[in-house]
Amino acid sequence: MARIVCIATNKGGVGKSTTSVNLAYELSKQGKKVLVLDFDSQADTTKYLASLTASNQSYFIGDVLLDRKFDINDAIYPAVIAGNEVENLFIIKGRSGDAMTKLAMDMNSIPKREERLKLHLQKVDDDFDFVIIDTAPNANVLMMNAVIAAGEFVFPTEFKEHSFDGIENIITHICEVAFSEEEELDFMILPTKINRSATRALNYGKEYCSERFPDNVADSYIWLREIFADAERVHKPLSMFKPSSEAAMYYKKFAREVIENVI
Ligand SMILES: Nc1ncnc2c1ncn2[C@@H]1O[C@H](COP(=O)(O)OP(=O)(O)O)[C@@H](O)[C@H]1O
Ligand SMILES: [Mg+2]
């Protein structure tokens, strides 16, 4: 049975797409079969794992969600990075522009609109070890689909003032959508873009996390490093872009932590 992990927060720019791509890639490198779903309206994950020009001619997540009879397998493509297919890594593509906004509007009037992803994913449940869902920072019907399908959540967060508002908001939202209590949620907070030398922010974040979320903070930290922007420019995961860099280890370690976090 696939573990379905939703990467979410109510804030943009904190590292959701970076985490989705790098985590999925490292899981695949560690022998897991991984499917990535791009629910982000900027299609950032799709830019890493597929050619966006080709994507407009191929199926995307909207084709799956809008049509009860659509075979989800037809929308699953092998991931392609730098022109090469990646073993064990697959994607259901998103689309940029206004495609995702339009999709959310189209879905508002159809039956089972919040459960459609879950129902479609049941058909491929035995084919993958992990399904990773990258999301946009808004609470629309697409997000509801991601929440209802997911069994686990990763909340990337910075350690700046107000950073934790995004997590508090998303937890409240998920509890509403899933009709459950915070204690019942399986989630991990992943500190991202953390500046090692900003001591005050670092201490504030650590303290907030250990008091508010004593059991749910990842051991791995994704430190702030310029090399992430360099890797993003060429749409490569860190460990493919520069395997020898220290930063290449961050998501390798986090992937091991996710694998070990068996419920
Ligand atoms: N650890 C990091 N250090 C430095 N920059 C990072 C790091 N992680 C992500 N970034 C950069 O931050 C920006 C936002 O990241 P992204 O993953 O797109 O966020 P989101 O999906 O939450 O909007 C991107 O330009 C990305 O390259
Ligand atoms: Mg994103």
**From the alpha carbon of 40, which atom of ligand 1 is closest?**
21
95 and 36 Cβ atoms separated by less than 8 Å: no
- Alpha-carbon distance of 187 to 183, in angstroms, equals 10
**From the alpha carbon of 232, which atom of ligand 1 is closest?**
27
**From the alpha carbon of 194, which atom of ligand 1 is closest?**
1
Q: Which ligand is nearest to the CA of 39?
A: 2
Q: Whose CA is nearest to atom 25 of ligand 1?
A: 229
123 and 29 Cβ atoms separated by less than 8 Å: no
Q: Which amino acids bring their CB within 6 angstroms of ligand 1?
A: 12-18, 44, 192-193, 222, 224-225, 228-229, 232
- Alpha-carbon distance of 63 to 45, in angstroms, equals 18
Q: Among residues 257, 246, 240, which one has the least CA distance to residue 29? A: 240
**From the alpha carbon of 9, which atom of ligand 1 is closest?**
22
pLDDT of residue 162: 87
Helix, strand or coil for residue 208? Answer: helix
The token duo for 48 is 């890493």
Q: Whose CA is nearest to atom 27 of ligand 1?
A: 229
Q: Among residues 184, 189, 185, which one has the least CA distance to residue 206? A: 189
**Widest CA span in the chain:** 54
pLDDT of residue 172: 95
Q: What phi and psi values does residue 223 have, to the nearest 5 degrees?
A: -75, 155
Do the strands 3-7 and 130-134 form a parallel or antiparallel pair, or are they unpaired?
A: parallel
- For residue 154, how far is its CA from the centre of ligand 2 (angstroms)? 13
- DSSP per-residue codes, 84-147: EEEEEEEEE----TTHHHHHHHHHTTSTTTTTHHHHHHGGGTTT-SEEEEE--SS-SHHHHHHH
CATH class, range 3-260: alpha beta
Choosing from 11, 18, 96 the residue with most ligand 1 atoms within 8 A of its CB, the one to mutate for a pocket test is: 18
pLDDT of residue 57: 77
- For residue 85, how far is its CA from the centre of ligand 1 (angstroms)? 24
- Alpha-carbon distance of 27 to 177, in angstroms, equals 28
The pLDDT profile of the chain, 263 residues, written as one tens digit per residue, is: 999 999 999 889 999 999 999 999 999 999 999 999 999 989 999 999 997 666 567 999 999 999 999 999 999 999 999 999 999 999 999 998 899 999 999 999 999 999 999 999 999 999 999 999 999 988 899 999 999 999 999 999 999 878 899 899 999 999 999 999 999 999 999 999 999 999 999 999 999 999 999 999 999 999 999 999 999 999 999 999 999 999 999 999 999 999 998 65
Q: Whose CA is nearest to atom 14 of ligand 1?
A: 13
pTM over 0.95: yes
Edge to edge, the sheet with strand 152-157 lists 76-81, 84-92, 34-38, 130-134, 3-7, 152-157, 187-194, 222-223
**From the alpha carbon of 18, which atom of ligand 1 is closest?**
17
